[in-house]
Structure 1
Amino acid sequence: MDKIKIIVATHKKCDMPIDTMYLPLHVGAAGKKTEDGTPIDFGYTRDDTGDNISIRNCNFGTQTGLYWAWKNLDAEYKGLVHYRRYFVGSNAKKNDLLNSVITYDEIEPMLVKYKVFVPKKRHYYIETLYSHYAHTHDERHFKIVEKIIKKDCPEYLSAYNKVLNRRWGYMFNMMILQKDLMDDYCSWLFNILFQAFEQVDTKGMSAFDSRFCGRISEILFDVWLENKIQTGRVNREEIKELSYMEDVNWNYKIKAFLSAKFLHKKYGVSS
């Protein structure tokens, strides 16, 4: 069993960290073929192997990678990052993403103290998590999620209401969790996602909007974690916030955020 394994979710060939703690994973690999009909092979592990939901990638996004890691990796700690967004270490260099990623040697000594690793909080200031989602996507998604939680796990309602009224969150579906916590989180999360997918009308949705299961997961992670804190399963002192770097178009991102808030224009593409 590995001490720690972090999958790097990607849908394309790109440069990857050299540290063996990282495992490049082709997400949404099921059914992907070249123009001549041969399966696309980046030379990475594929998320359509073993126990998987790769075929659902068009709705679940990188969460098909999380599911694969949950079901198929054998490690004491399991994590998820993205090909353009990583946790970074003490030698982070601006505009040098791959040479800034946190290494095994940096994170291994922290495992004796921390059960949960998350990206530093993203603050929205003028928005709650719920209002931000409502302005940028479709708030009916969380009406459905709330009904599922009330039915299946009402003990999470306190955490749900608290988190959706926050103005910050641990975003991006990035985390590293102790194995038993990963099992707990994924069992809870995917039960909700599978039901939500069946209840949301996806007819006429764009490819961008269709990935709603991945987006609601960002907030549901915080709901799950808040419940673990409330019930004493995880102490706040066992949560480590890590710096991160991302390769995004900030001009577009800020413009889209303000347009959603004040002009009621929904997000249409990833930044």
Structure 2
Amino acid sequence: MKIKVLVAAHKQFPMPDDSVYLPVLVGAVKNYKPGIDYQRDDAGKNISAKNPYYNELTGIYWAWKNLKDVDAVGLVHYRRYFYVSKPHDLDHVAKGADYEHFLADHDVIVPKKRNYYIESNYDHYVHAHPAEPLDKTREIISADYPDYLPAFDMMMKRRSAHMFNMFVMKKEQFNDYCEFIFSVLSKLEGQIDISSYSVQDQRVYGYISERLMDVWLYTTKQNYTEMTWSQLGGEKKIKKGINLIKRKLGIGKKQTHF
């Protein structure tokens, strides 16, 4: 099985040495600097210029439109990877053989769920970002993708989700997933005005897509499995927890990425 797992990066950074990984410079139309020898997301058919709003989705879009002759496609981040064993460092990220093992019995691999415990997925989003894009997404799904609405409403009430736009999928599933998310986001672009949003909140389409992963996963009844994920250098879990509580109580600045 030929598998390619994109490693989304916006700058030069140490990369895994397994050939399954394909470093991709996202937002390359602006982020490229001489010496960065990564696949650029502004090659071929692309939306590289939308990277400030779409995050790593510009790399996913590039793969959807341009990556040929592969049996499965995935995406991880330059500091966030899948693992099958410890330690969780760059030398021990999941290998091509690990992905092939999981895909022998499943069509989709996603990261283990992130749990929010004290609030729903909807509350977690609106306590950190403007509510309009998420509410408008529901309107779009209700009107144009009604089969997906039950899963959307269910996910908004849950307190856990498969996050980060991380996955490995067989090509057929990858194509179906991309058709869904980019269709929804294209409609959303035409119905909201983000010009007054902060730089962080203008990344809205990347944030919304994280919430659409499980909507697609459950509606289409994918045969999926979960893999352990970890962030290089670890997560600032205490700080994340404190900020989660502060956002819920409406205290201080909305901070979601640190």
TM-score (norm 1): 0.89
Q: Aligned pair in 2 of structure 1 residues 149, 265: CA closer, same or farther (>3 Å)?
A: farther
My pick for the range that moved more, 209-218 or 245-254, is: 245-254
Distance 1:42 1:137 in 2: 33
Distance 1:249 1:30 in 2: 31
1:36 aligns with none
2:218 aligns with 226
2:5 aligns with 6
1:262 aligns with 249
2:111 aligns with 119
Deviation at 1:199, TM superposition (A): 1.8
Deviation at 1:108, TM superposition (A): 1.4
Deviation at 1:267, TM superposition (A): 2.9
Is the 8 Å Cα contact of residues 208 and 268 (structure 1) preserved in structure 2? no
Spell out the pairing of 1:239-250 with structure 2 (5 A cutoff): 239-247=224-232, 248-250=235-237
1:73 aligns with 67
Distance 1:224 1:170 in 2: 11
My pick for the range that moved more, 157-166 or 254-263, is: 254-263
Deviation at 1:198, TM superposition (A): 2.3
Distance 2:46 2:22 in 1: 16
Letter aligned with residue 139 of structure 2: K
2:194 is aligned with 1:202: yes
Letter aligned with residue 182 of structure 2: F
1:217 aligns with 209
Distance 1:104 1:31 in 2: 31
2:30 aligns with 31
2:140 aligns with 148
Equivalent of 1:52 in 46, 56, 66: 46
Deviation at 1:40, TM superposition (A): 4.6
Distance 1:41 1:146 in 2: 43
| Structure 2 SS opposite 1:17 | coil
Instruction: Encode CA deviations 1:186-225: one digit per residue, 9 max, x unaligned.
Output: 0110011112122222122221111010001111111011
Distance 2:173 2:253 in 1: 34
In structure 2, the gaps of 5 or more residues are: none
TM-score (norm 2): 0.93
Is the 8 Å Cα contact of residues 137 and 266 (structure 1) preserved in structure 2? no
| Structure 2 SS opposite 1:18 | coil
Instruction: Encode CA deviations 1:132-177: one digit per residue, 9 max, x unaligned.
Output: 1011111211111011112211111111111111111001110111
Instruction: Encode CA deviations 1:206-260: one digit per residue, 9 max, x unaligned.
Output: 211110100011111110111012xxxx2xxx31110011144334322221111
Letter aligned with residue 83 of structure 2: V
Taking only aligned residues, the RMSD between alpha carbons, in angstroms, comes to 1.6
**How many pairs are equivalent?**
255
Distance 1:40 1:146 in 2: 42
Is the 8 Å Cα contact of residues 75 and 166 (structure 2) preserved in structure 1? yes
| Structure 1 SS opposite 2:205 | helix
Deviation at 1:266, TM superposition (A): 5.3
